[in-house]
Chains A and B, each alone.
Chain A
Amino acid sequence: MLTSKGIKNVKEGFPLKIQADEVKNVDIDFDQDFISKMVPKLDWNALIFAAQCVGHKEDLPDTLPEGYENDEDLLRKLHHILLEVEVINGCLECPETQRKFPISNGIPNMLLNEDEV
């Protein structure tokens, strides 16, 4: 979850709204241990927001439930949204300035013009 804080006067620049024009699903082997180690490091609200943006909110809970380490079903969903869903084309929008950053070939371009920094 990137930020647009580099823009002059932007305080948080987070979370960026994702507009997904083209989404690709890739297959990656499920590694329960790896995902459950990753989960506590995530900003849960931002993750839910991102999942919503790309139409994958599904039934992800609004807060991270206790005992998630053993909830294979939840971890599988997280595996999918975190690793397998790739936004190939679209854009990211700064919540404060509405500045849009293009995503092309799966790469967000967060470069700013000189008059923006």
Chain B
Amino acid sequence: MDNCEKIKTPLFSNITSEDLEHIYEPYEDSFLLIDALEKDLHMIRESQPSVCLEVGSGSGVVLTALASALGPRCQYRATDINPRACRVTRETGKLNGVKIETTCTDLVSAVQDELKGKVDVLLFNPPYVVTPSDEIGRGDLEHTWAGGERGREVMDRLFPCVDSLLSPQGLFYLVALKENDPDDICETMAKFGFSNTTLLARQTGPEKLCVLRFGHKQE
């Protein structure tokens, strides 16, 4: 593959140590998602996406990486439940010369009407760690990892919204952990009309991570 099909890791020197007490530091899972997007970059580019949306953008590195590779002919949108993460996402974009419109909201609540049927690329690296349910939402950092039962409680709330958000050719990229039961995630998404592909799987320390890609089942 030639050079233009690579995704550069964005700069994120804008993130301060104080920020990192509140937001998710770009980590293995963030880079796994970037690697998965790199694998699909040629295809994504060919599809000429007009809207890319990242849910729970945290530091913003993933969407910034994709935006830098795809260029300005696309609208980049991000959400996070944490206002500081929203601010950092916008700044990370700016530092790398990309414009990211960021909204502080629960999952896609405030954007789902506006973006109905328009999202060509949807990204979510969710809080996926198995925790007691009441740990979710306890604080900024808990939001970054606490996934409740099977680590599924946050991502499971997004799945029913994906069908209405995605454009006909739209793709949804999701990071999941073995404990989240990827097979069961795929079954759930199949009920909403999606076929799935496992793009990448990687063991990092004790975590067995994968990136799943979903698209509307073609008739």
Within 8 A of B (CB), among A28-81: 28-29, 31, 33-34, 37-38, 41
Is B103 located at the chain interface by the 8 A CB criterion?
A: yes
- Contacts A106-B90, A110-B109 known; A3 to B114 CB distance under 8 Å? yes
Per-position contact with B for A1-36: 1 when CB-CB < 8 Å, else 0?
111111000000110000000000000110101100
Number of interface residues of B (CB under 8 A): 22
Number of interface residues of A (CB under 8 A): 25
- Contacts A3-B110, A41-B50 known; A111 to B72 CB distance under 8 Å? no
CA distance A1 to B114 in the complex (A): 6
Q: Secondary structure at chain B's binding surface: helix, strand, loop or mixed?
A: loop
Q: Secondary structure at chain A's binding surface: helix, strand, loop or mixed?
A: loop
State which of B73, B75, B87, B113 has its C-beta within 8 Å of the C-beta of A5.
Answer: B113
A31-B72, A107-B86 given. 4 additional CB < 8 A pairs?
A34-B72, A105-B87, A107-B104, A110-B109
Binding site for B on A (CB under 8 A): 1-6, 13-14, 28-29, 31, 33-34, 37-38, 41, 83, 105-112
Binding site for A on B (CB under 8 A): 50, 72-73, 75, 81, 83, 86-87, 90, 99, 102-106, 109-114, 118
CB-defined A-B contacts under 8 Å, sample of 23: A1-B114, A2-B111, A2-B114, A3-B112, A3-B114, A4-B110, A5-B109, A6-B106, A6-B110, A13-B113, A28-B99, A31-B72, A34-B73, A106-B102, A107-B87, A107-B104, A110-B103, A110-B104, A110-B109, A111-B81, A111-B105, A111-B106, A112-B109
